[in-house]
Amino acid sequence: MDQTQSKRSSAEKIRIIGYWIATGIIGLETAAGAEWDLVRNPLVTKIMGQLGYPLYLLTILGVWKILALLGLFVPRFPKVREWAYAGLFFVYTGAAASHFATNDGVNAIGPIIFALLTLTSRWLGMQTRKQ
């Protein structure tokens, strides 16, 4: 019995560590992305131009990324967290789709990785809260 509890707690610890690693990476990327969008970093404005998007979209995305960041890390608001995960998933998959649509598929790799990390964070968060 004691060995079973030890295995459970080890598996739970691994899930918690995985959750915080994935969530931390997503949080850092979201914070950096919001800042780059809002200050209109030259790299970001160049990419937006290549993809055919208007630059005012950066302000909208930057503000929503700040709100998503708050949603991920403010406790006791599970519905807000759900919306944050959904919004970030839409941002990353939308970015990947935009790169594919403009025959720039090689640059879709980053957004796809972040979309997968978002799903990982969400799934591991659900698993740790069930325990």
What pLDDT does 40 receive? 98
Q: How far is it, in rounded angstroms, from Cα 119 to Cα 124?
A: 8
Number of H helices, E strands in the chain: 5, 0
DSSP secondary structure of 12-57: HHHHHHHHHHHHHHHHHHHHHHHHHHHHT-HHHHHHHHHHT--THH
Tell me if 111 sits within 8 A of 93, measured CB to CB.
yes
The yes-or-no verdict on residue 29 having pLDDT over 70 is yes
Mean pLDDT of 46-70: 97
What pLDDT does 106 receive? 96
Domain range list for the chain? 12-130
- Give the C-alpha distances (Å, rounded to integers) separating 75 from 34, 79, 108: 21, 11, 32
Q: pLDDT tens for residues 87-106?
A: 999 999 999 999 999 999 99
